[in-house]
Chain A
Amino acid sequence: MDKTINQKAWFLVLPVFLVVAFSAVLPLMTVVNYSMQDTFGNNQFFWNGVGWFKELLDPSTDLGGRFLASLGRNLFFSAVILAIEVPLGIVVALSMPREGWSVAACLVILALPLLIPWNVVGTIWQIFGRPDIGLLGYVLNHLGFNYNYVSNEVDAWVTVIVMDVWHWTSLVALLCYAGLKSIPDAYYQAAQIDGASRWAVFKAIQLPKMNRVLLIAVLLRFMDSFMIYTEPFVVTGGGPGNSTTFVSIELVKIALGQFDLGKAAALSLVYNLIILIVCWVFYTVMTNAGSERPVKQGAA
């Protein structure tokens, strides 16, 4: 068949090209530009080469120390909430009803936390945890626990983690539920006939079939928790001290608090790069997980 050659197609691509250029490429290049310079205000800039990047990776400098410490907190935070939210989400999904009116009720209740704006979630927990007027803080203190997220680091961490679990476990549960619903009844019937226990059914059927959605859930939850800003900022403001200062909070402090545009630009580029690399790793794992091809049964 002869192909029609028509260069007009380029014009159809042009709008997208322009939009992407102005919305992504140009701002990004501005950031790259800043990251190579230092500023003392008055719109005066001085060339600094890769100086900021060297500092970032050197824990003995102020910038590097703050970055690596907050990065460590971020990774710890992500690890903890994944370790809680994924198993909890699976358990919630498994205990949800499979049919009837209660399905809709469960779905609505689960979706509720997901619909609340992030700073509202922060505000809810900020008030909820206050020892003087918050229900949680008041009750805990009256039960004899000296709970105060403003002055105690552990309490601040517990509050931020519980808040994230409250906010996002639903997402994992909903994804798992979708995965569970896609398993045909025949699998459960076959397992019954094979005499499988509840645990064996989970291990041999449900978990493998949820594989894909679990990967998506882990990816989404990792990315979101790694970029977390609003909720801890509203609840603890990064404190007490620096104990809940995550990378994004540190970034805002440097960029808007100190107006160190060069440092902030370098930090955000590295931050972005880490996220991109993690995304790529997850993407590769996910696409490879499903690419197993059936092997023809030969004449053996």
Chain B
Amino acid sequence: MARIDLVDLAQSYNGNDAPLESFALKPVTMTWRQGGAYALLGPSGCGKTTLLNLISGIVTPSRGKILFDGQDITPLSTQKRNIAQVFQFPVIYDTMTVGQNLAFPLKNRGVAKAEVDARVKQIADLLDLTPYLNRKATRLTADAKQKISLGRGLVRSDVAAVLFDEPLTVIDPELKWQLRSKLKALHRELDLTMIYVTHDQTEALTFADTVVVMHDGRVVQSGTPAELFDKPAHTFVGYFIGSPGMNIVPAEVSGHEARIDGHVIGLHRNYGVLPAGKKIEIGVRPEFVDVAAPASGLLSATIERIDDLGRIQFARVRVGNTKLAARVPPGFSVSGDTAGLVFNPAYVHVYADSHLVEGVA
């Protein structure tokens, strides 16, 4: 059990002298608190697996330090780090039974047999694997195999953190949900730090109490699911989280007003005068833009199609050359192919060069 601190940690696969822009992981400083459930969320190639492998020690960082409870463990090998990791594809030792698989990490560390047996029994109980202890592990289904991989991590009593690298990729959808609930339950029971890498926002938002969003080798925001949804710190977060993603529209902003195509939208906060030369955009989630009948006071948009998601309908509209998504309020029926857009000013955010600008209330 440990708190994990990353200090200026960076990784380049092309040597330390490569330009910073080419780094797989740009320098990051952050803290993972003991007992937290974290999700590392981002598209493929954003550096999340690299970050995970740095923490587990599979990859040695080009720069920076990793501290476990304040102790620098950067030079330590994977074996000495007390990290458990579950990989995308289940790793099972084919020739062993489930019980032998679970005992393997303890045997390698020379733990006494009686203690090994006790731990294996305890972990098998926890993961509902007891009936399979004497079965060959190869003959089980993918979800059982993933549980075994996880069990091999948990069986060590000294484990500091459990890392998951997209562990549900090969699991059937219905079992995915079960296994995820199991992970949550384990997290509550064992008080372990868990870091869960995924590109699936549903997985991230349901598993974690803190979601860390990565983009292009950088950590762009870390916060609770609600924070990420309500106040994305970066246009990428807004776009990546939520379905459909946040509307990002180029605009001119001054004071309490944003202008799109000459049309004025009221803002909740005062942004004063924004620095010139930066790309200014406003971002608003489709949930906070309603379509309405065209009226003179409303921004008018061309309706391209309506997506019916069952409980909610989204209209795909166009303003000039910018595409947006907007909610169709219950009871409103769209007629014709133009509509007015009603913005909820409390949820309209302003971005300069993709980064959130905090207004003054």
A→B interface (CB under 8 Å):
184, 186-187, 189-190, 192-197, 200, 204-205, 208-209, 292-297, 300
Contact = CB atoms under 8 A, between A and B. Distances in A.
A189 B141 contact: no
Given A197-B108, A294-B139, A190 B94 contact: no
Interface stretch (B84-92, B114-122, B271-279, B289-297): B84-92
Contacts of A190: 85, 87, 91, 149, 152
Contacts of A297: 132, 140-141, 143-144
B84 A193 contact: yes
Contacts of A208: 93-95
Contact of B139 (A184, A189, A204, A292): A292
A192 B85 CA distance: 10
Given A186-B91, A204-B95, A292-B138, A195 B108 contact: yes
Q: Which of A186, A197, A296 has the most CB of B within 10 A?
A: A186
Nearest to A196: B108
Interface string B201-239: 000000000000000000000000000000000000000
A43 B106 CA distance: 77
Q: Which of A189, A190, A205, A293 has the most CB of B within 10 A?
A: A190
A204 B131 contact: no
Interface residues of B, number: 37
Contacts of A294: 138-141
Contact of A204 (B89, B93, B130): B93
Interface in B53-103: 53, 56-58, 77-79, 83-85, 87-89, 91, 93-96
Contact of B104 (A189, A192, A196, A300): A196
B304 interface: no
17 contacts: A186-B88, A187-B91, A189-B53, A192-B58, A193-B79, A194-B104, A195-B105, A195-B108, A196-B104, A196-B108, A204-B104, A208-B94, A209-B94, A294-B138, A294-B139, A297-B144, A300-B128
Contacts of A300: 128, 130-131
Contacts of A194: 104-105, 108, 152
